[in-house]
Chains A and B, each alone.
Chain A
Amino acid sequence: MKDRASVERVVREALQAVRPEGGPLEADAELGLDSTQAMELIMEIEERLDISIPVETFADARTFGELCSGIERLGA
């Protein structure tokens, strides 16, 4: 089970890998990725946490905070 802080850390790391120029993210910041980047982000998160992110979690993740919450709910 991952706590919120470690999910956020992993998502930040994954974002950094996909979009190195991006700065720190607030919870309500839009991810603003194109779909190639979005797929890379999901892959980076999946590999770091060894989970599979369902399409519904993906569909609900408009912001950084929403993505983290969705992953947290998976109980990874």
Chain B
Amino acid sequence: MERAVARGEPLREIENNKQPTATASGIPLRRGNFRTLTEALDYAAQGSTGFNFYDGKGELAAALPYRELRERAVALARRLQSLGRGSRVALVAHTHPDFAVMFFACQYAALVPVPLAAAIHLGGRSAYIRHLRELVSDCGAVAAFAPADFVGLLREAAGDLPLKCVGALEDFHALEAHDELPAPPRGEELAYLQYTSGSTRFPRGTMITQSAVMSNLEGIFTHGFEIQADDRFCSWLPYYHDMGLVGIVLGCVSTQRSVDYLATRDFAMRPRLWLKLISQNRATISFSPPFGYALAARRVRIKDAEALDLSSWRVAGVGAEMIHPEWLRTFAESLAPARFDARAFLPCYGMAECSLAVSFAPVSGGFAVDRVDAERLATSGEAVAAADAGKTAGFVNCGEPLPGYEVEIRDESGRPLPDRRCGRIYLRGPSVMSGYFGNAEATREVLSADGWLFTGDLGYRVDGSLYITGRAKDLLIINGRNIWPQDIEHLAEQQPELRATDTSAFSIPGADGGEVAVLVVQCRETDAAALGSLAERLRRAIYAEFGIECLIDLVPPHTLPRTSSGKLSRSSARKQFLERHRAERVTDLPWAREAGYAAEHAVRSSMRFSTHREDARDAGLNAQ
């Protein structure tokens, strides 16, 4: 039963006799078939599994059995209920036991927790504070919580906002306790709000009901991949990301599984720790966006791989951004000495607007790639088998939708398309959000009255299986992080030389298959030094705000293309940009090869990549 510690190297001395929770729960397995999250935790608390938190040295810092999580959450809930049933409570979602206690205390108090990003880039204090403050306001929170590491930042962000309580767990323990808990949450009540990106200009907090999230969890762990009584999770995914929060935090509670957590920041610093934990605790399930596999593969050396045993890892889930087959292949090759089996790769597709998951590829099938004729795809939208010669494009099979979900591929006028025709992906099913909180307009744009959700993605189907080919909406996804172009443009237009509608932001393919941000800027200035100064200020401002490097392309006035209604078109701007530079991807841009400033082009560029682990969405792309 103590499989967690029975094999691999022994855990080092643990203070206070802490041991990780067992893999076996000691109670019959239930695969997410609960009406609400409180029912799920009530059941899990009867067993011996729970959450385990590892520090940056790979040592167990805290174990939180579900039994204890429930006790602490219920006790705190009695103090929270005066905040008012259904009220929002903002939670800085740092990987920490206190977050789990607070999240479930909100559940028992029938409050709506709103996990917010705990990601800061170097020197990014003011941008982070502003970001927190905007989202706390947007969700109309009545209180805001952060684990100790973030509490100073939260207090600064909360400032004079009218909140009933701001602080760490002990601040909430100072609230007056009621004798009884309120009536438990009902299926139609909101379980949480999940922001789909860090955008503060266009915040989109998905409203997810108890029944929506529970139906998705049951579908995932029954049909997506059938969870087993000897499964154990390991995860570094951020708690403010749908895959980390819903898939892992809520998923493990709903299936009574133990999970070993590594904070996202510790993974980013020491990605090998992730693999070491899987090896040591014999984890069977771990998910990551593709860049996580790429980062780990880059840092692992042969001797590290030889010291690991990843043979227990049966589900290596991959989603949240376009899946680059070569990244997965590199990972599998690097970890072959650790007995990692590439058939464990499980591509999946989903989004926060659907709670989490839409589809999973067949379990134990690895990633399968459909090779299609790239010319035909580009010209007619047909995804047909590639001829022997000619350019091909490969897309990963993301599997069939979970039972109870309908998927349609539609053309631009809304007509359904047949198999192997590429179009916009629409989705209807039991876990689709109720809408974006406080944003009826954004809701109307993606959710129809009869329940169809426009996913914003492009793809095609073959015999019921989904293949994701790209995005229909304007959105940059840089290493799993969603960035709305409007936010970059708005920031740029704060420069005194620029006016609204002088800029257009989009992404182009990077050197390694990822995305690189580009900002095209119209300006009247012709002096090279002044242009250089502008480009440098823009680059710095974007770095400070988003932690990414952005290619700046300065162009004369009236260069940016407009639609017939006079609006700027980012997709046309992107097309023109690539044509102007005769490029298909960033490596075709001679001035982007060096991270230097080329005055004659009035372009400041860099090819570095960001790895902010923020919200992300699932997509797929792949090879044999």
Contact = CB atoms under 8 A, between A and B. Distances in A.
20 contacts: A31-B123, A32-B543, A33-B608, A34-B611, A35-B268, A35-B612, A36-B611, A38-B122, A40-B269, A41-B122, A43-B270, A46-B56, A52-B56, A55-B120, A55-B149, A58-B122, A60-B123, A60-B125, A61-B122, A66-B123
Interface string B540-552: 1001100111000
Given A55-B149, A56-B152, A59-B128, A36 B295 contact: yes
B123 A59 contact: yes
B265 A55 contact: yes
B125 A59 contact: yes
Interface in A26-76: 30-43, 46, 52, 54-56, 58-63, 66-67
Interface string A8-30: 00000000000000000000001
B124 interface: yes
B609 interface: yes
A61 B150 CA distance: 16
A34 B543 CA distance: 8
Contacts of A67: 122
A59 B268 contact: no
A34 B270 contact: no
A58 B177 CA distance: 37
B610 interface: yes
Nearest to A40: B269
Interface residues of A, number: 27
Given A32-B543, A34-B610, A39 B123 contact: no
B85 interface: no
B377 interface: no
A36 B122 contact: no
Nearest to A33: B122
A58 B153 CA distance: 12
Nearest to A39: B268
Contacts of B547: 34-35, 38
B585 interface: no
B530 to A, nearest CB: 21
A13 B152 CA distance: 30
A18 to B, nearest CB: 11
B121 interface: yes
Interface string B142-154: 0000000110110
A31 B153 CA distance: 22
B270 to A, nearest CB: 6
Given A36-B295, A67-B122, 19 more contacts: A31-B122, A33-B122, A34-B549, A34-B609, A35-B121, A35-B122, A35-B611, A36-B610, A36-B611, A38-B122, A39-B269, A39-B611, A54-B149, A55-B118, A55-B153, A58-B122, A59-B153, A62-B544, A66-B123
B358 to A, nearest CB: 29
Contacts of A31: 122-123
A36 B609 contact: yes
A1 to B, nearest CB: 22
Nearest to A41: B122
B122 A43 contact: no
B540 A30 contact: yes
Contact of A55 (B56, B150, B543, B544): B150
Contacts of A42: 269
Most chain A CB atoms below 10 A, which of B120, B269, B610: B269
A51 to B, nearest CB: 11
Interface in B548-576: 548-549
A64 to B, nearest CB: 11
Helix, strand, loop or mixed for chain B's interface? loop
Interface residues of B, number: 29
A37 B265 contact: no
Contacts of B149: 54-56
A55 B151 CA distance: 11
Nearest to A62: B123
A30 B606 CA distance: 15
A63 B544 CA distance: 12
A56 to B, nearest CB: 6
Most chain B CB atoms below 10 A, which of A30, A31, A39, A60: A39
Contacts of A58: 120, 122
Given A34-B548, A43-B270, A52-B56, A59 B120 contact: yes
Contacts of B123: 30-31, 59-63, 66
B484 to A, nearest CB: 18
B122 A62 contact: yes
Contacts of A41: 122
Contacts of B150: 55
What 10 pairs across the A-B complex have the smallest Cβ distances? A62-B123, A34-B608, A59-B125, A43-B269, A38-B122, A39-B268, A36-B611, A59-B120, A39-B269, A35-B610
B77 to A, nearest CB: 28
A42 B548 CA distance: 18
Nearest to A63: B123
B274 to A, nearest CB: 13
B577 to A, nearest CB: 22
Contacts of B612: 35
B539 to A, nearest CB: 9
B543 to A, nearest CB: 7
A56 B153 contact: yes
A62 B122 CA distance: 6
B453 to A, nearest CB: 31
Contacts of A35: 121-122, 268, 547-548, 610-612
Interface string B128-139: 100000000000
Nearest to A37: B608
B144 to A, nearest CB: 17
Contacts of A38: 121-122, 547
Contacts of B265: 39, 55
Interface in B74-128: 118, 120-125, 128
B593 to A, nearest CB: 14
B610 A59 contact: no
A26 to B, nearest CB: 16
Most chain B CB atoms below 10 A, which of A32, A35, A40, A46: A35
A5 to B, nearest CB: 22
A22 B489 CA distance: 30
Most chain B CB atoms below 10 A, which of A40, A52, A55: A55
